[in-house]
Every structure is written in C-alpha cells, then in structure tokens.
Structure 1
C-alpha cells in the first residue's frame, strides 16, 4: 500500500474510527483501524464487535493494499503534526511508514486476517431520519439508561415506530425518559434496543451532519449511512419494559414552576442533602406553598421556597436529587409542570406546552 492524502481529512476520519476500537487482550486486533486503499479512496474501518464503522476519504493511491495498525497510536501521531498539510502512508517491510515534509515514522502492524468483518445490513428499503432530530431524540433520553449491563434492556435506548413519529425511551427502573420525534417516512418496527454505549458513539459519529441519514434495520443490527460514513450497531434481543402502565392516569397535585427557578433551588438544596441525595418537596396548594427541604447532620439544613402555580391536594414526597436534575437538558420550555398522584407513585415532569417529552421519577422510600 502506498497513498498520499490531506492530513486534515485523515485526522477527521481516524479520529471518528479510533473511538470505536476496543481493548481486548485475547483479540488485540480490535485496538486497530484497518486501512484499505482502492480506486482513489482510503476506507478506514474499526470495530469492537459491538459497533462498527467505515469512513472513506479521497486519496491518491500509488499502490493499492490494506494494513491494520493501532488506532490510538496512529491518531495521536497524525493529530499532533502541525506544519505539514500532506501525508504519505506506505507499507514497508510489514510496518506502516508515515512520511511528511518534516518527519518520518514507522508504526507496527497487525495481521489483517484477524480483523473482524463489519456487519452489512441489507440496503433494501431504508428509511431516512434527519440527523439533528435523531441526535435530539437520543440525547433527550439516553441519560436514563442503566450503567449496569446486568439487565441489557435497561442499559439500552429504545426506538419504536408510532404512526408519523419515532418514540425514544430509556429507563434504569428508577426514572424513565420518553421523547417523541416526528418522522413522516419511516419503516414500521415494533422496537429496537441499542446499547447505551453505542448510542454515544453514533451521536459522535453523526453530529457534524445536518442532513438526513439512511437507516437500515434487521433483527440483529441497525445501521446509519451518509455519503462516505457507515456505522452499524448490534441491537439487544429483549423486550423493553411496558412503561405506559406505570404512568399515573389520575393527577391529584400539580405544580407549574419556572424551569430556571426550580433548577437553582434544587442545586442549593443539594448542598445540604444527605448521602442519599434526598430532597423533600412540601406542597400546600391552599397556602400557595411549594418548598424543598434538605438536611445533613454533617453540613446543616436548608429550606427553599419557590414561586409556583399550585393546585390539588397537599403532598410531602422525597426524591433523589440526581434523578431529577438530569432531565432539564431535555426540556425546551421555560416553565415545567410537576404532576403527582400519590406518595408511592412516580412524579411526571413535562415542559409546559410540550407533549413530546415525558420524564418519570420514582419517589424515595420513607
């Protein structure tokens, strides 16, 4: 292999691919990127067996070929080249020789036969998804996924088709996020569960794109394709919890408050919260009282009164601060509604006037 390429394009492509490489002692080639030069194109491939990526860039191919090298070593080297615009990559005696006007290096290679194939999802009848909306859907819910992989369905993000929309959802069983995104032309599918870690990589790979991306599905994989970028993820075999049944049907108490006022009060309250990050809401509609109290025997205590519109029954209920504060990144409205049905039922958080986002938080046990 012998190619000449523009440094910035190579840095961009290797940077995206290198993030997907894996660390596997028994299969060290997973830490590599595979470089394939063919017909004036360099294709960079990487996979950790859970997610795979292919990115192609235009290059001058003097000799076709392919080679596997450490993704981190290659990226760290080329991203720190500052004075050269062009790079020559050449296979020399089983090593990758990298030459610029001012430097020359050799990088150890790995056997290309050990590099796994990246799954190809059938390209029959894809549907398109606007990338900013796709990323908004992912970001609106992914923080609610469990970081534990003991129950894979809880460490995933759900995509489900619904008429002219796609529903995104995630839950760790303590809180749940749901975001509905309008997509007029999409393929009908009951549910797709994408591993939480893969969602982050999909976002980082596609975040520069402002157009539509093609989406391909089968029973084992979901793939996204745009021009010279192809990324595919394993999907989880399982059934997402039927969360609709736990959404309270009857609301007994409702509080409407300015989002920024509520966030500020929560952050102050958390300074005085205990080791369980407990914050307690005291709601008294007749007295027009909405306050948050916290107490820590080692720090002190705090009472925070918040201006709000309140209706319904009196209520005192406690939550984990961390489970509440995460959701505000997904609320576009200036005001939010907090809805309650009982002390042992979840709180519902929505943006006022926005039915596309729903957040449920379970109360803390007394």
Structure 2
C-alpha cells in the first residue's frame, strides 16, 4: 500500500475511530485500526467487538492495499506533526512508513487478516432522521442510564416510535429522563435498547454531522450512516421497564422558577451537602418561595430561598443533588417547574416545553 493524503483529514478520521479500539490483552489486533486503500478512497475501520466504526476519506493512491496498525501510536504521531499539510503512508516489510516533508517514522503492523469483520446491517428496516434531532434525543437522556451492567436494560437507552414521535428514555431506577422528538416524517420502527457506553460514542462521532443519518435495524444490531461514516452497535436483548406507570398523573404542589437562578442555588447548596448528596427541597405556599436546605456536620449548613410561582400546598422532601442537577442540561427554556406529591417522584419540566420530562425519586430520611 502506498498513498498520499491531507494530514488534517487523516488525523480527524483517526481521532474518531481510535477511541473505539479495544484494550483486549487476548486479542491485540483490537488495538489496531484497519486501513484499506482502494479506488482513491482510504477506509479506516475500528472495533471493540461491541461497537464498530468505518470512515472514508479521499486520498491519492499510488498502490492499493490493506494494513492493520496500532491506532494510538499512529494518532499520537499525527497529532504532534505541526505545520504539515500532506502525509504519505507506505507499507514495507510489515512496517507502515509514515512520512512528511520533515520527518519519517516506521510503525510495526499486525496481520490484517486477523482484524474482525464489522457487521453490515441490512436496510430492510430503516429510517432517516436529522442528525441534530438524533444527537439531541440521545444527549437529553443518556446520563440517566445506569453505569452498571448488572441490569443491561437499565444501562441502555430505550428508543421507540410513538405516533410521529421518536422517544428516547433512560433510567437507573433512581431517576428517569424522557425526550420526545417530533417529526411526522419518521416512519414507524421497532423499539431498541442501545448500550449506554455505546451511546456516548455515537454522540461523539456524529455530533458534528450535518444532514440526515440513516438508521438500519436488525434483530441484534443497529447501524448509523452519514457522509462516509458508518457505525454499528450491539442491541441489548431485554425488556425496558413500563416506566409510564411511575409517572405521576397529578401533583399536590408545584413551583415555577427561573432556570439560571435554580442552577446557581443548587450549586451553592451542594457545597454543604453530606456524603449522600442530600438536599431538602421545600415548597412554601404561604411565603411563595422554593427553598433548598443542605447540612453537613463536617462543613456546615446552607438555606437558599428562591422567589417562585407556587401552586398547591406546602411540601418538603429530600433528594439527591446530583440527580436534580443533571437534568438542567436538557432543559432549554428560561423557566423550570418542579411538581411534587408526597411519596411520589418529583417531576421536573421546562416551562412550555412538552418534549422533555424528568423524574427523581425522593430519598428516605
């Protein structure tokens, strides 16, 4: 193999694929990326067996070929090349020769025949969605999934179709986030569970993508493709909890606050929270304020009152600060509402935005 290409394009493609490579001691080939030079296109592949990605960039090919090379080594070398516009890659005697106008290096290669195949998902079941909508849906909920793999369905993002809406849901059983993307052009599809750790990579790789992303579904794989980038992920075989049963249909108290005031108040309160991140939230009907109280025997205590629009009765409950604070990244409106009822989850919404819903379970006091 012998090619010439623009250094920045190669570096950008490898930066996205390099993070997918596996750290498997028994399969050292997984730390490699596969470079395939054919028809003036360089295809770069990486996989950790749970997730696979393929990217293509235009290059000038002097000799077609295939090579497997450690991703980390190649990426580190490219990122430290300054003031270089073009780079040449050539395979000689089981080594990849990478050269520019000012430097040349040799990187040991691996047998490319050992590189695993990346699954190709059939397009018999497929939909198209705007890239911004997909990323918004995933980013709005993925932080609520469980980091533990003990219950795979809880460490996944649940995506399903509901009357012209693509719905994204995640829960770790302590809190739940739901985001609805309204698009009448979305065709009906079967619900899927995507592993939480794979979702972060999907966001990272496609976040800067413009235009539509094509999603293909099969029984055990899902793929995303757009503008020369193809990614496939394993689907979790499980049943997501019937979460709608726990969403309160009514509430006894509610408070409406400015979002930025609320974020600032919780940040101050967290300084004095205990090792369980406990904050006590009070809706005071008589005085028309929303109060946050934190106590830590080793630090001190704090009481923070925010002027609010209050409806219903006065109520006091305790929650985990982190779970409340996480949801503000998904609320785009200037005001936020807190709906509370005794012995029920607290519901947090952006005022005037029906697309996002967030539930937080109270803490036992």
TM-score by length of structure 2 reads: 0.98
Deviations 1:260-309 (A, max 9, x none): 11111111111111111111112221332421111111111111111001
Corresponding residue number in structure 1 for 2:361: 362
| Secondary structure of 2:219's aligned partner | coil
Aligned equivalents of 1:84 and 1:249: distance in 2?
61
| Secondary structure of 1:261's aligned partner | helix
Matches within 5 A, 1:1-366: 1-124=1-124, 126-342=126-342, 344-366=343-365
Verify the 8 A CA contact 1:284 1:315 in the aligned structure 2: yes
How far is 1:210 from its partner? 1.9
When the two chains are superposed, the root-mean-square deviation of aligned CA atoms in Å is: 1.1
Deviations 1:184-226 (A, max 9, x none): 2334234211111111111111112121111111111111111
Verify the 8 A CA contact 2:17 2:45 in the aligned structure 1: yes
How far is 1:183 from its partner? 2.5
Verify the 8 A CA contact 1:281 1:291 in the aligned structure 2: yes
Aligned equivalents of 2:327 and 2:138: distance in 1?
13
Aligned equivalents of 2:6 and 2:189: distance in 1?
42
Deviations 1:40-95 (A, max 9, x none): 11100000011101111111111111000000101111121113211111111111
Aligned equivalents of 1:131 and 1:266: distance in 2?
32
How far is 1:5 from its partner? 1.1
Verify the 8 A CA contact 1:127 1:185 in the aligned structure 2: no
Aligned equivalents of 1:249 and 1:184: distance in 2?
27
How far is 1:125 from its partner? 5.2
Aligned equivalents of 1:66 and 1:211: distance in 2?
31
Deviations 1:229-257 (A, max 9, x none): 11111111111111100001121111111
How far is 1:170 from its partner? 0.5
Structure 1 moving runs of 4+ over 3 Å: none
Aligned equivalents of 1:160 and 1:206: distance in 2?
20
| Secondary structure of 2:307's aligned partner | coil
How far is 1:15 from its partner? 1.0
| Secondary structure of 1:16's aligned partner | helix
Deviations 1:129-170 (A, max 9, x none): 100111111110011011111111111111111111100011
Structure 1 residue ranges without an equivalent (≥5): none
How far is 1:124 from its partner? 3.0
Q: CA separation of 1:83/1:284 partners in 2, compared to 1, >3 Å: closer, same or farther?
A: closer
